[in-house]
Structures are given as C-alpha cells and as structure tokens.
Amino acid sequence: MAGQGTNTAVASGTQLPEFSCQQEAEAALFAWRDEALVALLADVGAVLKFDFSGKSLKRLEAWFLGNGRPEFAAAGCSVPHAIGFYLGQIFRRTGGFAWMVQESPSMPRRYEIGVKRPHLAIMLTRGERPSPHDSARKHALWRRWKRYVDR
C-alpha cells in the first residue's frame, strides 16, 4: 500500500510547475496568482459583486456552474485556477492565512502555491472546480471557507 501512495504522490508532483529555486518559483507563482485574479475580477467581478467575503463564494460557484464550468475566462486565464486563488485571497483576508510557495516533498524543483496559517496549509496550484455533485447540498466553496475560517 505504501508504494501505491508514493506512486500517486510522484505522479501528482510531475504535474506541478518546475523551477530552479524557491525565489524563481515564488516570483512566477505569485505573478500567476495576481494575473489570474485580475483577469477573473475584470471578467465577472463587477457582475458578481466580488468583495472578498465568504458570501461572494456562493455567487462565484453559482456563476461557474451556471455557465457550464468554463475552463477559460474571456481574458484567457484558467477559471479553475482563478477560483482557487480567489478562495485563497478570501482565506488570507478573513482567516489569518498567508500566501506561500513550497517545494513538493515528493518531487524536487516542483513547486506549489497555497495559503497557510499555523498547523494548516491549503494548496491551490491545481485550482478549484466546483461540480454539480459537490454542490448537491449547495455552496461547496462557501462551506469549505466556513470550515476553515468562519467557525
């Protein structure tokens, strides 16, 4: 069983972006985050009244599902990644989290971006893709935020 977990971790790690050092990874991944957030806000931020609150996650998820779960926004950015970064920004603003970039423990020179606070890290490199199945009880993103921030 342990070998299976290692294989999964390695396979997952190969999908992460590769950089020569921590500083290069931070510069690139923080720029990617910023570009994706700007594009998402420009594309639908005003319509959805993004205010970086937990409640705005309900509007974002409804828009995402109601528009056929788009992979790309009008500006060409990845919508799932932008959703993940928006969620991370809400964690940062409302829950005492800080942005972080870390090297994958299973793959040297492969890095992830996420948010952290003491004893908890939430990695967002793969983005967030709410699905109708996740939302059967509605508001999966909001419930995730509530679980970690608004207790």
Run of H or E including 117: strand 111-117
Q: Which residues contact 140 (CB under 8 A, 6 or more apart)?
A: 61, 130, 134
Q: pLDDT tens digit string along 66-98?
A: 888 988 877 778 999 999 999 999 999 999 999
Q: How far apart are CA 137 and CA 103, in angstroms?
A: 35
Q: pLDDT tens digit string along 24-48?
A: 999 999 999 999 999 998 888 878 8
Residue extents of the structural domains in the chain: 19-148
Contact 100, 94 (CB under 8 A): no
Taking the complete model, does pTM exceed 0.75, yes or no? yes
